Amino acid sequence: MYRTKPHTVRNKIDLSDPSQVRSLKKRLGISAGDLQHAVAKVGNSIAAVSKELQKATPATDAMAVRTAGPSRPKARVATVVA
């Protein structure tokens, strides 16, 4: 007789599962302690934890960040050789 494997809930964090903790740490860019603190504060919902972490460390606006190059291409000046 085959037993079915219990399915994990996809939108809940199980801190006792090392592979889930490792993948969430990498995905959210935080340490294990920060993950445990966020779960203790807002619960074990992945959406709630990611929202809490975004409030704690606001991301910079992508439009406000300038790249290394000029924002517009420079106009070419034609030279006339006489």
Alpha helices in the chain (DSSP H): 18-28, 32-42, 46-56
Q: What is the C-alpha separation between 4 and 53, in angstroms, rounded?
A: 35
pLDDT at 40: 94
Q: What is the pLDDT of residue 47?
A: 92
Rounded to whole angstroms, the Cα distance separating 23 from 76 reads: 50
| Predicted confidence pLDDT, tens digits, the chain (82 residues) | 687 777 777 889 999 999 999 999 999 899 999 999 999 999 999 999 999 988 877 655 444 445 555 555 566 666 677 6
Tokens standing for residue 62: 């992508």
What pLDDT, on a 0 to 100 scale, did the predictor assign at position 58?
65
